[in-house]
Amino acid sequence: MRTANKVIITCAPTGSIHTPSMSPHLPITPNEIAESAIAAAEAGAAILHLHARNADGSPSPAPEHFMQFLPRIKQSTDAVINISTGGSATMSLDERIAAAKACQPEVCSLNMGPLIFDFSAAGARVSEWKHPWEQPYVEGSRGRIMYNDNVFIERIMVEIGQAFGTKFEFECYDIGHLYTLAHFADKGLIKPPFLIQGVFGILGGIGADPRNLAHMVTIADSLFGTDYYLSAFAAGRHQLPFCTQSALLGGNVRVGLEDSLFIGRGQLAESNADQVRKIRTILEALGREIATPAEARAMLDLKGADAVGF
């Protein structure tokens, strides 16, 4: 693993798992997403991992929806903007990459293999759904696969990475995804340093057991040596413990309401910035310093905010 003195905090403010009925604090409108992302950056997030939504809160892949908040975030912060190509498992593959192709960001996510993406448990706490799309969307995730085959992965590397100099947040939900990443590195389609985002605790992927994170590091070290930075998080209540473990191992962290609506046991997070401040406090207590956006750009060898398409 490549280590640095500084820890990169990524914040993912909205995502596509959680729905408006699950928390009044989930940013939905372009204005809410922009304000929440900007506040997260001011609290210490160097990278913002972004999804867009329709007016009813359902996930949207439309570049025009991203463009309702990207320029404002760029004007208000120096944070690195990362556009999701995971989108939602309900979207077509072309829809999922449309925004990253149109906006040519410094970073986009790249999901390194297919998986059952079952987040139906997130609906258990909802007593009344605000919108008709939510319940079928959440409960229907039991029967959905997030489709990421090697042809699609290569398309993203070529059509976004090579075309625009965009680098990747490689989302790895299992150990096998590291081997797929190594396959593409061997083919020369991607250049180090790689940002490997270990994702734990999605039903369908590897579980939120700390031994799995240690194993991921062992295998990533054997495949990539010092050519990668680790970042890691777990969905739901394991979010902060997993981030802490990643930092203790020399890695980086990701927080945000995309992956957990909570800040403590049974306590909803009132903002993304609150989650950033909480992990920041933990990291600083452990003696780690927080990377600025400029330091994150230098670590990850990014093209710079002036070279994006928005």
Residues in touch with Zn ion (CB under 5 A): 15, 84
Structure-token pair, residue 251: 């890695």
Is the Cβ of residue 15 or residue 251 nearer to Zn ion in the bound state?
Answer: 15
Q: Which span sits near ligand KMH by CB under 6 A: 38-46, 62-70, 81-89, 153-161?
A: 81-89
| Chain centroid, CA 117 distance in Å | 15
Per CB under 6 A, contacts with ligand KMH among 19-78 are none
Contact residue for ligand KMH among 8, 11, 17, 308 (CB under 6 A) = 17
Q: Which span sits near ligand KMH by CB under 6 A: 84-92, 129-137, 279-287, 290-298?
A: 84-92
Is the Cβ of residue 174 or residue 259 nearer to ligand KMH in the bound state?
Answer: 259
Q: Does the protein bind ligand KMH through residue 86 (CB under 6 A)?
A: yes
Is the Cβ of residue 6 or residue 238 nearer to Zn ion in the bound state?
Answer: 238
**Tokens 């909570």, located at residue:** 262
Q: Does the protein bind ligand KMH through residue 174 (CB under 6 A)?
A: no
Alpha helices in the chain (DSSP H): 30-43, 63-66, 70-76, 93-103, 134-140, 150-156, 163-164, 175-186, 210-224, 239-248, 272-285, 293-300
Name, in order, each residue with C-beta under 8 angstroms of 40's C-beta and a sequence gap of 6 or more. 11, 13, 48, 256, 271, 272, 273, 275, 276
The DSSP string of 193-243 is SEEEEEEE--BTB--S-HHHHHHHHHHHHHHHTTSEEEEEEESGGGHHHHH
Judged by beta carbon distances under 5 to 8 A according to partner kind, the member of Zn ion, ligand KMH, none in contact with residue 161 is none
Least CB distance to ligand KMH at residue 19 (A): 13
How far apart are alpha carbons 124 and 108 in whole angstroms? 31
Q: Does the protein bind ligand KMH through residue 148 (CB under 6 A)?
A: no
Judged by beta carbon distances under 5 to 8 A according to partner kind, the member of ligand KMH, Zn ion, none in contact with residue 259 is ligand KMH
Q: Does the protein bind ligand KMH through residue 202 (CB under 6 A)?
A: yes
Residue 137's DSSP bridge partners are: none
* C-alpha pair distances (Å), 234 with each of 5, 64, 260: 23, 30, 8
Per CB under 6 A, contacts with ligand KMH among 99-128 are 109, 111
Binding site for ligand KMH (CB under 6 A): 15, 17, 84-86, 109, 111, 171, 199, 202, 235, 258-259
